[in-house]
Structure 1
Amino acid sequence: MLSVIVMSNVKDMSLADEGIRKINWVQKHMPVLEHIKKQFEEEKPFEGITIGSCLHLEPKTINLGLTLQAGGAEVAMTGCNPLSTHDDATAGGAALGLNMYGWREETEEEYYKTINQVLDHKPDVIIDDGADMILVLHQERKELLSKIQGACEETTTGVHRLQAMHNDGALKIPLIAVNDAYTKYLFDNRYGTGQSTFDAIMGTTNMLIAGKNVVVAGYGWCGRGVASRADGLGANVIVTEVDPIRALEARMDGYRVMKISEAVKHADLIITVTGNINVISGDDFKNMKDGCMLANSGHFNVEINRPDLESQSTSVSEVRESIEEFVMKDGRKIYLLADGRLVNLAAARGQGHPAEIMDLSFAAQALSAKYIIENDLEVDVIKSPDELDYEIAGLKLKAMGIEIDDLSDRQKVYLADWQEGT
């Protein structure tokens, strides 16, 4: 053990040494966050500040917590998904001086208890993934609102929820939409989700993707990434969408586009990435082929309507870790991965996004938290400042050994003068 435990509610502290080894491994592959950590160690921007987070608790996330800690913050962390927590990582984080709350396979009651345990630290800043902690703050812990200087939200789903809160006049704290940072959604949502989704699916099922009909429900940045990786693995990709522009883009990218009711008839594998409810439901299950597999890479386990699936089946059993077999009334078998939760984190083999990708996202979180502390922000949903994006991208390029050009003085004049070129 490398440090005194501050406060923790984790499954097994004997796992701490293994967790620390994994944390050390990801640190080697997160150079931008390590650069920021060194800056924070010198500047101590969070001296006297408490930061509470509700994120997927795995080694890369613990590295974010350690970066904030290096800046002087007291850090309290819990998980945003009962099936995505790595118990060795939480033990390692606790041993390294972070206040850790949560374990894999929490009940719903335990899940909200650990969120409240983080809020008991009376944070000044919140870092959330899916907005559950922010909702608990507004609904159950209103006495803490006056102390909160601001919050950061990691996901598309969370930003949508918080924007809806703001539109209704219910949001009472400034919110930086880190998900809307270029260095987050262009890389995390696209390359991270694409790779981690198939890493988890292939590791869990040992299924060949080449030659399969893979339906991708939703063509936002996550859907683009999933479709691209499926295509690269040799799948026949079908995209479903409700947005005509995104549907047109998917077709121009070379994929078939059709309604979900038609697409399910062809599918060997369906992956939902919409952030919405009941994407697969009702008669969709009646029209699926025998052996069709279902997975979700959206945030919550509501995209695939499990109750509808159960009501149409005669039996449900786990045939392999993180794979449930539903035997339908006509004898067909449909397989649900990871209980319909985030397959890239909740499946048995789910490790989440690569460290090199989370290096960008968590750098954006760390700098956005610093931005909240240094600025008096109004209550609103605010895009992460562009200057932070450019700083992060520059640091990542430097770490990769890549140099790019600068505009010459003449080029700057040309771009700034509307009369040039006439």
Structure 2
Amino acid sequence: MAKDYAVKDIGLAQQGLDRIEWARRHMPVLNLIKAEFEKNKPLKGVNVIACLHVTVETANLIETLLAGGANVALTASNPLSTQDDVAAALAKKGVKVYAIRGEDEKTYYKHIEAALKIKPNVTLDDGADVIATVHSKHKEYLKDIYGGCEETTTGVIRLRAMAADKALKYPVIAVNDAETKMMFDNRYGTGQSTLHGILNATNILLAGKTVVVVGYGWCGRGVAARAKGMGANVVVVEIQPRKALEAAMDGFWVMDMTEAAKVGDLFITVTGDINVIRKEHFQLMKDQAIVCNSGHFNVELDLPSLKKMAKKVSTVKTDVEEYLLKDGRRIYVLGEGRLVNLACAFGHPPEVMDMSFANQALSVKYIVENHKKLKKDVYKVPEDIDNRVAKLKLESMGIKLEQLTKEQENYLSSWNMGT
């Protein structure tokens, strides 16, 4: 029988299985949901395509969906985030997985096409590429799709634009916007894993360096806080006045990109937008400035312009490219400008992804059970799911919530008790 997967080396499976098991031990919320799914089979016969980062944490989400009775096809949402041993382990278990670290763009979309052959009822995205492919090239699959989930800010922005234009053809839950995802995954996960990726690639000392964080959403807050905690002088670049004010009140320097380009030693973009560091900024940077991205796609950095400015581009060490400019300055780009926390490290810790993927699994169940009454729009994760994930996480940490007394409940719900 022909193999129904595309991975680098199926011989890496055991290594992947060991690492998946290690992550599982740090994902108690997802484990509880998996046990519930195994018992009740809420996804029995449902076909799911997942275009996500192929990591040990994602593997545990896939196993949870399988436990619920789903048929799953998995493809990578980023060519440099795939962990080849994890892909091999899932393939060995019979999952239709199409992911090879470093695959080119043509292969990337070929793998999405292969995964779509499952004829999905539910789509899971990290960047909306499956949704975009179905809507633009494979509308024949739309009739079978109940709905989808999107778990990153960039993808949600895309989908809200589609919904506003009446172009979205099925309902999507913005898993990214759940508080137990956005606040924790983006702030604590991106904050820690971004610096892990940078240090893994460079081994530089952060203390005393000037670190420029471009964007002060939840990801930017996390990165800035962790860099400050390691002794860096942190500059924040923002376009929104309230976020810029918050960054200033949090103790960071706030500048526009032109001024920040002159003083930064390390630049980290976390905006989800295009060309936030451009030619005019590269022209102002110090010799040996380091540039990386932890937003989503590598389009945050105008690398084509940087390449034109360079007289030579060379790989000086793993995941570090040196752009030697015509005036002799050197600018270093990490992980080809792709997500530095995944291209140069392991991504978010399992404790963080535990909550993100718990929301994801419960949202898939919600779509299956409620798709007939959902409009073709982008929805927030239902509040009861978000709260349930938070409560399960607290229980796993041994933390108890305070309970209101009847007197306190009456006081908060009345207007005539006075003070």
Please, what TM-score do these two structures have when normalized by structure 2?
A: 0.98
SS at match of 1:250: helix
Unpaired segments ≥5 residues, structure 1 = none
**2:217 is aligned with 1:216:** no
Q: Is the 8 A contact 1:216 1:271 kept in 2?
A: yes
The residue identity in structure 2 corresponding to 1:299 is H
Alpha-carbon separation, structure 1, partners of 2:333 and 2:95: 35
**2:358 is aligned with 1:363:** yes
Q: Is the 8 A contact 1:6 1:98 kept in 2?
A: no
The residue identity in structure 2 corresponding to 1:342 is L
Question: Please, which of 28, 31, 56 is the counterpart of residue 28 of structure 2?
Answer: 31
SS at match of 1:9: coil
**2:359 is aligned with 1:390:** no
| Residue in structure 1 matched with residue 120 of structure 2 by the alignment | 123
Question: Please, which of 44, 49, 54 is the counterpart of residue 52 of structure 1?
Answer: 49
Q: Is the 8 A contact 1:188 1:353 kept in 2?
A: yes
**2:328 is aligned with 1:331:** yes
Map Cα deviations across residues 102-126 of structure 1 (whole Å, 9 max, x no partner): 1111111110011111111001001
Paired residues in the alignment total 417
Q: Is the 8 A contact 1:5 1:94 kept in 2?
A: no
Q: Is the 8 A contact 1:5 1:98 kept in 2?
A: no
What are the residue-to-residue correspondences of 1:246-257 with 2, within 5 Å? Answer: 246-257=243-254
**2:199 is aligned with 1:202:** yes
Instruction: Give the deviation of 1:320 after TM superposition.
Output: 0.5
**2:283 is aligned with 1:286:** yes
Question: Please, which of 51, 59, 63 is the counterpart of residue 62 of structure 1?
Answer: 59
Q: Is the 8 A contact 1:6 1:94 kept in 2?
A: no
Map Cα deviations across residues 86-144 of structure 1 (whole Å, 9 max, x no partner): 11000101112321111111111110011111111001001100000110010011011
Map Cα deviations across residues 241-293 of structure 1 (whole Å, 9 max, x no partner): 00000000000000000100000100000000000001000211110000100
Question: Please, which of 276, 286, 294 is the counterpart of residue 273 of structure 2?
Answer: 276
Instruction: Give the deviation of 1:5 after TM superposition.
Output: 10
SS at match of 2:160: helix
| Residue in structure 2 matched with residue 180 of structure 1 by the alignment | 177
Map Cα deviations across residues 212-235 of structure 1 (whole Å, 9 max, x no partner): 000000000000000000000100
Distance 1:65 1:140, change over 3 A: same
**2:416 is aligned with 1:419:** yes
Percent of aligned pairs sharing the same letter: 55
Alpha-carbon separation, structure 2, partners of 1:6 and 1:63: 22
Alpha-carbon separation, structure 2, partners of 1:361 and 1:88: 22
Question: Please, which of 69, 81, 84 is the counterpart of residue 84 of structure 1?
Answer: 81
Q: Which range is displaced more, 145-154 or 7-16? A: 7-16
Question: Please, which of 225, 237, 242 is the counterpart of residue 228 of structure 1?
Answer: 225
Alpha-carbon separation, structure 2, partners of 1:101 and 1:341: 20
Alpha-carbon separation, structure 1, partners of 2:356 and 2:411: 34
The residue identity in structure 2 corresponding to 1:237 is V
Q: Which range is displaced more, 50-59 or 401-410? A: 401-410
Alpha-carbon separation, structure 1, partners of 2:330 and 2:187: 31
RMSD: 1.1
Please, what TM-score do these two structures have when normalized by structure 1?
A: 0.97
Unpaired segments ≥5 residues, structure 2 = none
The residue identity in structure 2 corresponding to 1:175 is V
SS at match of 1:8: coil
Map Cα deviations across residues 132-163 of structure 1 (whole Å, 9 max, x no partner): 01100100110111111000000000000000
**2:319 is aligned with 1:306:** no
SS at match of 2:263: coil
Instruction: Give the deviation of 1:331 after TM superposition.
Output: 0.4
The residue identity in structure 2 corresponding to 1:25 is W
Alpha-carbon separation, structure 1, partners of 2:123 and 2:384: 21
Distance 1:95 1:5, change over 3 A: farther
Map Cα deviations across residues 294-335 of structure 1 (whole Å, 9 max, x no partner): 010010010110011111111000001000001111101100
What are the residue-to-residue correspondences of 1:85-104 with 2, within 5 Å? Answer: 85-104=82-101
| Residue in structure 1 matched with residue 348 of structure 2 by the alignment | 353
Q: Is the 8 A contact 1:240 1:257 kept in 2?
A: yes
Q: Is the 8 A contact 1:66 1:98 kept in 2?
A: no
| Residue in structure 1 matched with residue 262 of structure 2 by the alignment | 265
Instruction: Give the deviation of 1:411 after TM superposition.
Output: 1.6
SS at match of 2:268: strand
SS at match of 2:283: helix
Question: Please, which of 4, 14, 39 is the counterpart of residue 42 of structure 1?
Answer: 39
Instruction: Give the deviation of 1:203 after TM superposition.
Output: 1.1
| Residue in structure 2 matched with residue 157 of structure 1 by the alignment | 154
Alpha-carbon separation, structure 1, partners of 2:3 and 2:335: 33
The residue identity in structure 1 corresponding to 2:396 is A
Question: Please, which of 223, 228, 235 is the counterpart of residue 238 of structure 1?
Answer: 235
The residue identity in structure 1 corresponding to 2:366 is Y
Map Cα deviations across residues 369-390 of structure 1 (whole Å, 9 max, x no partner): 0000111311110000111111
Instruction: Give the deviation of 1:421 after TM superposition.
Output: 2.3
Alpha-carbon separation, structure 2, partners of 1:388 and 1:79: 26
Distance 1:184 1:5, change over 3 A: farther
Alpha-carbon separation, structure 1, partners of 2:170 and 2:3: 28
**2:188 is aligned with 1:191:** yes
Alpha-carbon separation, structure 2, partners of 1:7 and 1:35: 30
